[in-house]
Chains A and B, each alone.
Chain A
Amino acid sequence: MSTQRAGGWASGGALLALPSLAFVLVVAGLPLALLLSFAVSDVGMSRGAIVSWSLTTEHFIAAVGDPLYHAAFARSFTLAASVTVLCLLFGFPIAYLHLRSPGWLRTVILVATIAPLLTSAIVRTYAWIVILGRQRGLLNQALLGLGLIDEPLRLINTHWAVLIGMTQIHLPIMVLPLIAVMSRQDPRLEDAALNLGASRLRTLRDVTLPLAVPGIGAGASLVFALSYTTFVVPQLLGGGNYLNAATMIYEQMIFALDWSKGAVTAAIMLATCLATVFAITMATRRAMRWSDQARA
């Protein structure tokens, strides 16, 4: 029956929301507006303070035509897309393993998934320096020791190192929404498919996977957004010349102190990142037309 909710007790309630809304507006809303205006301005800087500011599209147009920008964003995009796919490739099986496991193992899987999230990304990236390092790296030592190679391989400071590191670091972010969605599924649906004659693999493909689509969508959005915009892993595993959108901003802001360029790069990053996440969300909705949520 549609009756008014208990709402009443927490008062009209609008006042309760005001502090957070004001905070978000002042600390995030206005700064982002300023950033966008900086992207179409020339900002004069001196010792961390703004000394001049005039509107011009000069920096923006220069950036859009700059091959360096194209390369950085293209690399960010392909890297993030590959990381997303890899996370899905490992993440879905982990969630499926969780689904099919007894209680204690479920807890172990959850702890193994959540604990890394509470550890600094830098610390987790450091592990890959230990493993992939050129001189004393674990992998190179193992390969040399086994006599499979004569010279240490160049593993770190490569695109592959960045890809592996990023996949590992963002894997939990893919797994958690998948686990959340999949453990809410009615286990009798799988039983029904088996009873109708489908094999386990077929059931996995026809029932479990399609029903996990909301989790896949949520995980993919998060993993893409994060790996598209991170500079930690590229900075540590990609080597000094490894340039993607995020390291470019880092470069421009921290070393070159070129705030106009930094604003342009950040604005382009914001727009492209949100656009891709929006596209993923739309694709997810299309893939789950059967759901009420998608229509709402």
Chain B
Amino acid sequence: MKRGARTSIGDRIGVGLVLALGVLGLAVLVVPSLIVLAVSFDTRAFVSFPPQGFTLRWYAALADNAQLVRAIVNSLWSGLVVMVLCILLGVPAALASGRGRFRWRGAVPVIVLLPHAVPGVVLGVAVLFAGSAVGLRPSLALQSFAVTAFILAVLVRTVLARLERLDPALEEAAANLGAGRARAFRDITLPLLLPAILAGAAFTFIEGFDNISIAIFTHGMRNPPLPVELLGIVQTETTPLVAAISGVQILLSTLLVAIVAATIGLRHVSD
């Protein structure tokens, strides 16, 4: 019987097949983005492959498209509001759940995580109903609030996971050395939670910027966010303009992930 790394041919073929599937899967993940990226530099006014020439005119056209620029600004606002609300609501919630001493503290994450288990479409419809029941028309604010309720769970979960891995003796040590609660939080707990808060904040910002399933029902008619605008454009526009929008997003997101990978590490994210 063969042992260790030396294995039979059949075995190698089997494992090779599994690994080949993995490579194929990775290709399926990556290649379409590369194709779109290539198309975005095409000089022709229609989408075709292989692209001909090289131009940045479609990227320039983005900046000239007032409708798109406004949608991007709307989405940036939404992302910002969602992120700030999530930090303000989520960090205290995680602290209450992870360090609190009250009877029902275990229920806090459960309740906060519930909206995240609801399909975005359903939550969007529900918020639209509730808004109109109290006279709130769909708006950028309503959209941001709804997305916040949805994505708050991610920040709470990220921060709570970090908090639970934090040695409680650190806070005791700070107290023992003379620090009051506020001081210990400022000097010890907060700096050690910061990577998790930042990772969570990044994700909530992106959801606020990018959400479509909730936003489609709750956004303001006069100021649609980028995804809602895109949904229409993708179905009508035939020039590489859309590819340029995609190109911007693909480059930005890859850059962001690469930065996170090089600095705080991707563990915070993949956990």
- In the complex the two chains form, is B129's CB within 8 Å of A277's CB? no
Q: A27-B148, A204-B15 are in contact. Are A6 and B169 (CB under 8 A)?
A: yes
- In the complex the two chains form, is B18's CB within 8 Å of A93's CB? yes
For residue A107, CB closer than 8 A to chain B, the reply is yes
The interface residues of chain A lying within 8 Å CB-to-CB of B66 are none
For residue A195, CB closer than 8 A to chain B, the reply is yes
For residue A127, CB closer than 8 A to chain B, the reply is yes
For residue B130, CB closer than 8 A to chain A, the reply is yes
Q: Report the minimum CB–CB distance from A184 to chain B (whole Å).
A: 9
- In the complex the two chains form, is B230's CB within 8 Å of A120's CB? yes
For residue B76, CB closer than 8 A to chain A, the reply is no
- In the complex the two chains form, is A13's CB within 8 Å of B105's CB? yes
- In the complex the two chains form, is B126's CB within 8 Å of A34's CB? yes
- In the complex the two chains form, is A168's CB within 8 Å of B32's CB? yes
For residue A269, CB closer than 8 A to chain B, the reply is yes
Q: Mark B199-222, 1 if CB is under 8 A from A, else 0.
A: 000000010001011001100000
CB-CB nearest in chain B for A197: B1
- In the complex the two chains form, is A110's CB within 8 Å of B266's CB? yes
The interface residues of chain A lying within 8 Å CB-to-CB of B210 are 118, 120-121
- In the complex the two chains form, is A28's CB within 8 Å of B245's CB? no
For residue A194, CB closer than 8 A to chain B, the reply is yes
Distance of A278 Cα from B127 Cα, bound (Å) = 24
Q: A111-B258, A128-B32, A138-B49 are in contact. Are A13 and B7 (CB under 8 A)?
A: no
CB-CB nearest in chain B for A240: B235
Distance of A253 Cα from B133 Cα, bound (Å) = 16
Distance of A228 Cα from B26 Cα, bound (Å) = 23
The interface residues of chain A lying within 8 Å CB-to-CB of B125 are 35, 249, 253, 262-263, 266
> How many interface residues does A have (CB within 8 Å)?
111
The interface residues of chain A lying within 8 Å CB-to-CB of B28 are 90, 167-168, 171
Q: A130-B243, A136-B46, A236-B235 are in contact. Are A119 and B249 (CB under 8 A)?
A: yes
- In the complex the two chains form, is A31's CB within 8 Å of B18's CB? no
Distance of A180 Cα from B270 Cα, bound (Å) = 6
- In the complex the two chains form, is A5's CB within 8 Å of B25's CB? no
CB-CB nearest in chain B for A36: B126
The interface residues of chain B lying within 8 Å CB-to-CB of A200 are 7, 11-12, 14-15
The interface residues of chain B lying within 8 Å CB-to-CB of A69 are none
Q: Can you give 6 A-B contacts (C-beta < 8 A)?
A: A9-B174, A21-B111, A27-B127, A122-B231, A126-B243, A130-B36
The interface of chain A, by Cβ under 8 A from chain B, is 4-17, 19-21, 23-25, 27-32, 34-35, 38, 48-50, 89-97, 100, 107, 109-131, 133, 136-138, 141-142, 167-168, 171-172, 175-176, 179-180, 194-195, 197, 199-202, 204, 225, 228-232, 235-236, 246, 249-250, 253-254, 259, 262-263, 266-267, 269-270, 273-274, 277
